[in-house]
Amino acid sequence: MSYNVAVVGATGNVGREMLSILSERLFPTKEVHALASRRSNGVEVSFGDATLKCKDLATFDFSKVDFCLMSAGGSVSKEWSPKIAGKGCVVIDNSSAWRYDQDVPLIVPEVNADAVAGYAKKNIIANPNCSTMQLVVALKPLHDRATIKRVVVATYQSVSGAGKDAMDELDRQTKAIYSLQDIETKKFPKRIAFNLIPQIDVFMEDGYTREEWKMVAETKKILDPKIRLVATCVRVPVFIGHSEAVNIEFENPITADEARDILRSAPGCIVIDAHEPGGYVTPYESVGEDATYISRIREDATVENGLAMWVVSDNLRKGAALNAIQIAECLIARKLITAKRKAA
């Protein structure tokens, strides 16, 4: 059985990674379509050894497509996902447009794969935010063992999480600093080169940013509505790879050694935790990898049943493209979708 797949946003950071992962994982494709805006009509993108020419989303016929991997931002998704889903094509969306809709499952296959069955209500499945994704992969096995009450997380998020223009801005600013040129700030509210910005997405009324709110709402929807979470989300001058310093308070006792053992055998997790210089994972080392890496696991004696840890993952892979493809694989494995159409 093979499937017709469309990647919307194929010229973007996440879309390009989707095409590469579809090819790497030998996803059973019959035809793959690369779609973007009209601006990119005819632009070539790689799919394994092949080259695809981008087509315009606005004029593409989805009636023969089985999966649409959507990665073109919230407003494009709001407009197009229902139209595409209405053609009988399952949309797996990367933006925040559908994540909080009760009729749209928000899925991380290692955590809540069973919820995927609810996709048929709208034919849309949402992919969580990149910072939530790696967090819940690491929290789930610990929650199963000792029941999480509260999480305090500080993120260190790479610029690729804000799209290809954001990567260009870090690159340009860094070069400008070395060549004593003026620094131009467009994508971020302040200079990002050799700096940190404690704001991701817009401010909300309570003083938190929307990125911080997303981590709360999404962790509750995916893992457990009873978990209390507070986040501080920070943009850092790293190109790819998000990191998180996480403090967890549990209902029941759990030692650092127990947590290490549990996470070692947990799906999607790799523990690298040697108590010596370099015995941990940094974002640079996570690039191009599928795993969520957990390091620096310690008991937190300032609370009852507390642990502290460091969690790192490639935000373009597990944080976005890989998870979307794992969702599609999950639908196929559970026989929730059949390839019902001939190639376009």
Ligand X SMILES: NC(=O)c1ccc[n+]([C@@H]2O[C@H](COP(=O)([O-])OP(=O)(O)OC[C@H]3O[C@@H](n4cnc5c(N)ncnc54)[C@H](OP(=O)(O)O)[C@@H]3O)[C@@H](O)[C@H]2O)c1
Closest distance of CB 14 from ligand X, Å: 3
Structural contact between residues 45 and 32, judged by C-beta atoms closer than 8 angstroms: no
Nearer Cβ to ligand X (40/123): 40
Among 30, 87, 164, 191, binds ligand X (CB under 6 A): 164
The yes or no reply on residue 15 touching ligand X (CB under 6 A) is: yes
Among 4, 160, 173, 286, binds ligand X (CB under 6 A): 160
Closest C-alpha among 328, 286, 292, 340 to residue 138: 292
**Cα angle 83-86-87, degrees, rounded to a multiple of 5:** 100
Site string for ligand X, 181-220 (x = CB under 6 A): ----------------------------------------
Structure tokens at 221: 């929807």
Among 20, 29, 71, 209, binds ligand X (CB under 6 A): 71
Residue number of the CB closest to ligand X reads: 12
Catalytic residue among 54, 89, 130, 330: 130
Cβ-defined contacts of 192-199 (< 8 Å, 24+): 192/159, 192/166, 192/235, 192/237, 193/237, 194/237, 195/237, 196/234, 196/235, 196/236, 196/237, 197/234, 197/235, 198/232, 198/233, 198/234, 199/233, 199/235
The yes or no reply on residue 73 touching ligand X (CB under 6 A) is: yes
Per-residue DSSP letters for 201-243? Answer: S-B-TTS-BHHHHHHHHHHHHHT-TT-EEEEEEEE-S-SS-EE
Among 12, 105, 268, 306, binds ligand X (CB under 6 A): 12
Distance CA 103, CA 107 (A): 13
Nearer Cβ to ligand X (48/74): 74
User: Any catalytic annotation for residue 130?
Assistant: yes
Among 37, 46, 112, 147, binds ligand X (CB under 6 A): 37
Among positions 78-107, residues that touch ligand X (CB under 6 A) are: 94-95
Catalytic residue among 233, 242, 269, 330: 242
- Please enumerate in sequence order all residues whose Cβ is within 8 A of that of 298, keeping only pairs 6 or more positions apart, or say none: 256, 307, 308, 309
Say if strands 90-93 and 67-70 run parallel, antiparallel, or are unpaired.
Answer: parallel
Among positions 235-254, residues that touch ligand X (CB under 6 A) are: none
Among 319, 325, 326, 327, binds ligand X (CB under 6 A): 319
Q: Amino acid letter at 99?
A: R
Among 4, 5, 6, 13, binds ligand X (CB under 6 A): 13
The yes or no reply on residue 320 touching ligand X (CB under 6 A) is: yes
Binding site for ligand X (CB under 6 A): 8-15, 36-37, 39-40, 57, 71-74, 76, 94-95, 129-130, 160-161, 163-165, 315-316, 319-320
Active-site positions? 130, 242
